[in-house]
């Protein structure tokens, strides 16, 4: 594996199935594979495992790691239900959050607030080092992180590993402004399981450290804190990385790369503020 400046994991950690490592290119695919998916139509409904009830037109997500609570969204219309050989998927139009993507019964993304996750996952690491050059994306098959990486002109190559081609096809069909990240010519898609190790086991971090150049950085999603998504950032030995103070700032008002608009969530002030913790978290309680 070529040395990388940066590794970003787009995996959503509350899903139990193993996630993938991703790199991006809109034209180059190092392993072609049939998606082996059911048609993109509601005729596949009977083949989908219903992981969450939808009482009276509401989608309900309840996860074992958050006992005693559930998340409800009003369903206006189910746009797609299908199942690949890896996982089941659903897309529906909600009344307040735009189109919503559900994977194996767990909410993955909404049009209204996807920017908060995609932008922070991308720009926290990329704005913390000067002139990032090569990026490896693990997971993130929706293409949103690719879209955000495309805003950085210094990046020369983006590799993304995604095992499920049907997932990519569904995002391109129903979330084109997010999946537009695949249109960046610097992106190379590798259809494969990017990691054969559990995400937080030591072998994964050992492999990541070997792949990174001196001073390279990695960002993965950490546990949520009071409903706010957390991120874990780390760097290899080499030039010191001050994650709290971005050295490679990005103009939040400028439209660049393949993105169709400027940033909606991230800016340098939010970057630094992301490292401020509430008192109970500092105490580790």
- Residue 15 is predicted with a pLDDT of 23
pLDDT: which is higher, 217 or 18: 217
Mean pLDDT of 206-221: 87
Burial of 128 by CB count in 10 Å (0-12 exposed, 13-18 middle, 19+ buried)?
Answer: buried
From the CB of residue 238, how many other CB atoms can be counted at a distance below 10 Å? Answer: 11
Distance, C-alpha 243 to centroid of its chain: 20
Residue 99 token pair = 């189109």
Q: Which of 190, 235, 210 is nearest to 20 (CA)?
A: 190
Query: What is the per-residue pLDDT across 66-108, written as a single tens digit (0 to 9) for each?
Result: 778 888 999 999 999 999 999 999 999 999 999 999 999 889 9
Q: Does pLDDT of 30 surpass 70?
A: no
Pick the CATH number of 42-109 from 1.10.3660.10, 3.40.50.720, 2.60.120.460, 2.30.140.10: 2.30.140.10
pTM of the model: 0.81
CB 169 within 8 A of CB 38: no
Q: Please say if the pLDDT value at position 214 is more than 50.
A: yes
255, 245 contact by CB (below 8 A): no
- Is it the case that residue 31 has pLDDT exceeding 50? no
Query: Which residue intervals of the chain bear CATH 2.30.140.10?
Result: 42-109
Neighbouring-strand partners of residue 176: none
Is residue 176 within 8 A of residue 101, CB to CB? The reply is no
What count of other Cβ atoms lies within 10 Å of the Cβ of residue 213?
A: 17
Q: What is the mean pLDDT of residues 42-62?
A: 56
* C-alpha Rg value of the chain to the nearest Å: 18
pLDDT digits 0-9 by tens, 166-187: 999 999 999 999 999 999 999 9
Q: Where in the chain is the domain with CATH 3.40.50.150?
A: 4-33+114-282
Q: Mean pLDDT in the chain?
A: 80
Superfamily of domain 4-33+114-282, CATH level 4: Vaccinia Virus protein VP39 (3.40.50.150)
pLDDT mean over 5-31:
39
Q: Note the pLDDT of residue 47.
A: 36
Q: Give the pLDDT band (50/70/90) at residue 48.
A: very low
Q: Are 69 and 224 in contact (CB under 8 A)?
A: no
Query: What are the structure tokens assigned to 190, written together?
Result: 């590798």
Residue position matching structure tokens 């990385």: 241
The pLDDT assigned to 41 comes to 33
């Amino acid at each position: 594996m070529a040395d990388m400046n940066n590794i970003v994991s787009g995996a959503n950690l509350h899903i139990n199935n193993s996630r993938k490592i991703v790199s991006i290119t809109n034209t180059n695919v190092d392993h072609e594979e049939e998606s082996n998916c059911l048609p993109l139509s509601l005729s596949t409904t009977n083949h989908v495992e219903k992981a969450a009830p939808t009482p009276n037109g509401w989608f309900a997500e309840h996860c074992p790691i958050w006992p005693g609570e559930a998340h409800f969204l009003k369903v206006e219309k189910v746009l797609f239900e299908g199942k690949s050989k890896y996982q089941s998927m659903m897309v529906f139009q909600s009344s307040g959050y735009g189109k919503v993507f559900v994977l194996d019964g767990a909410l993955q993304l909404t049009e209204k607030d996807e920017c908060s996750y995609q932008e922070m996952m991308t720009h926290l690491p990329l704005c913390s080092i000067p002139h990032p050059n090569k990026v490896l994306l693990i997971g993130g098959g929706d293409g949103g992180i690719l879209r955000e990486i495309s805003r950085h002109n210094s990046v020369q190559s983006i590799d993304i590993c995604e095992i499920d081609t049907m997932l990519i096809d569904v995002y391109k069909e129903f979330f084109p402004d997010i999946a537009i990240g695949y249109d960046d010519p610097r992106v190379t898609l590798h259809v494969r399981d990017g990691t054969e190790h559990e995400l937080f086991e030591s072998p994964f971090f050992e492999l990541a450290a070997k792949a990174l150049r001196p001073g390279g950085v990695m960002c993965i999603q950490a546990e949520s804190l009071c409903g706010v998504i957390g991120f874990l950032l780390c760097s290899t030995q080499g030039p010191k990385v001050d994650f709290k103070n971005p050295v490679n700032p990005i103009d939040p008002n400028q439209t660049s790369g393949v993105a169709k608009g400027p940033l909606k969530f991230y800016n340098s002030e939010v970057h630094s503020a992301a490292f401020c913790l509430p008192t109970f978290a500092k105490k580790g309680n």
